[in-house]
Amino acid sequence: MGDLLTYLPPLARGAWMTIILCLIVGVAGSILGFVIGLARASSIGVLRWVSAIYTNFLRGIPLLIILLFTYFALPLLIPGADFSQLMSGAIGLTLFVSAYIAEVVRGAIESVPRGQYEAAEALGLGFFNKFRYVIVPQAMRVMVPPWVGILLAMIKDSSLVSVIGFVDLTQAGKIVGTTTMQPLWAFVVVGAVYFFICYPLGRFGRWYEKRLSISLARPPDTLQILMPAVTGLLEHEPPELPESPESPRDAGGTT
Amino acid sequence: MISVTDLHKSFGKVEVLKGMSCEIAASEVVCLIGPSGSGKSTFLRCLNLLESITAGTVIINGHNLGDPKLDKITVRKDVGMVFQQFNLFPHLKVLDNIMLAPLKVGKKDRLATEQKALELLEKVGLSDKADAYPSALSGGQQQRVAIARALAMDPAVMLFDEPTSALDPETVGDVLEVMKRLAEEGMTMVVVSHEMGFAREVADRVIFIDEGLIVEEGKPTEMFDNPRHERTRAFLRRVS
């Protein structure tokens, strides 16, 4: 155990890299996913078509392959590009996560009743105002829980970036475990750190959900329909919204 | 105010409107009646471009709806619509429901808009509900808010798509009362309704539509007491 203490700095550095990576991917993946989700739900055929290919394609490829591709193959496609491991890992994870978020955004937007679009249009609201003030606020309530679920899954999936040699928390744990010959303690610490990274996000999700349901007085059934999608995601299934008959589980996602 | 000539509307291969023509003058209140599926709602929805027009011309308040360069928003500013299902925005308070369009589309001053919204709420008898969410209101109250919301844009024409069909019987009266007052103030109104009492009392003209065509139109008394067409008679027998 004493040995392990001297190896805490590398573990902390690994944890820090994981946090940095997840912050980048969380922000970039959310923005990209949101935009693609809007395209998925749009009335413009070309946008729908292109975004459908994007999401279906990326959801059909293992994350591991995406990461290997962005690290080894992408620089070949873009001459002169010199991606760091962090950069490659961030790009790969962002692509992967955005595809899942896009599907959640699409589902949430399509769950807003037709009449809301018509009322907004009949009042003369243009495309931007309609989405900004009428559709998205209502869809938000539906999309946030599965969205948080995807981000939680992403934090844990980020451990896969060790395959491209990025020293994240998992890789640091592996190194420390082997050097100290105490893999048990090393991985207990690593697991605990992942938990403490994930837990606040889960809490935030719950808090945000509550806040939305206070300000939004609509029957709460939409949330209950979507909760299985969250649990499904944590187990790496595509978030097909209405399916998955499992009972709703804690969105805090500490699995 | 509204001039419709040979209006056709098809959904895919199904032709719903088969060449309708009519003129509606300013301040006129017109009730559209007819069996369900006859096309009366579709006709109404063509008037504010919620449905695209397949063929024919519609001119409303000087806008030619067939003009490809026409901005839909300019038409919709002039045409208010009230839906069967109210379609209030559930995430906004009553007052914000009313203020959204004037603020975002009309780009009006916030204080003046709020003043106007409160006046409209008073007009529909719901001054005390400004800060309520729609879900806290009864159907009739929600529909009256929806009317106030449509009026907030100062439309030249108001369209009502079966405004009382989704309501409990005891709240229908309040909504009809508001509509009646609106008619008395000189609003141009096109109302799709099954409320024959309202049509008889308030409408200047009743248009009977069946299978996508105008079968017969006239003053409510003529239409209800002395319909000329067998189809109109059959329909009126069934609803009364």
Which amino acid belongs to residue B18?
K
**Does the CB of B105 have a partner CB in chain A at under 8 Å?**
yes
Q: Is B36 helix (H, G, I), strand (E, B) or coil?
A: coil
Q: Among the CATH numbers 1.10.3720.10, 3.20.20.140, 3.40.630.30, 2.30.110.10, which is that of A2-230? A: 1.10.3720.10
The ipTM assigned to this model is 0.91
Q: Which residues of B touch A216 (CB under 8 A)?
A: 90-91, 133
A178 burial class (0-12, 13-18, 19+ CB within 10 angstroms)? Answer: exposed
Locate the domains of chain A by residue range.
Answer: 2-230
Nearest to residue B19, comparing CAs of B213, B182, B183? B213
Six-digit token string for B90? 């559930």
Structure-block tokens of residue A183? 């893999």
**What are A146-189's pLDDT values in tens digits?**
999 999 999 999 999 999 989 899 999 999 888 888 889 889 99
Q: What is the pLDDT of residues A76-92, one digit of tens each?
A: 888 877 788 999 999 99
CA distance B235 to A49: 46
A244 touches chain B (CB under 8 A): no
Cα distances from B12 to residues A155, A182, A199, in angstroms, run: 48, 70, 52
pLDDT bin (cut points 50, 70, 90) of residue B170 is: confident
Report the length, in residues, of chain B: 240
The three-class DSSP label of residue B62 is coil
3-class state of residue A236 by DSSP: coil
A193-229 pLDDT tens trace: 999 999 999 998 888 888 877 655 444 444 444 544 4
Interface test with A, best of B89, B98, B120, B153 (most A CBs within 10 A): B89
**pTM of the predicted structure, to 2 decimals:** 0.81
Cβ-nearest to A217 among B72, B90, B150 = B90
At residue A58, the 3 state secondary structure works out as helix
Q: Does residue B102 belong to the interface with chain A, where contact is any CB pair within 8 Å? A: no
What confidence tens digit (pLDDT) does each residue in B57-100 have? 999 999 999 888 888 899 999 999 999 999 999 999 999 999 99
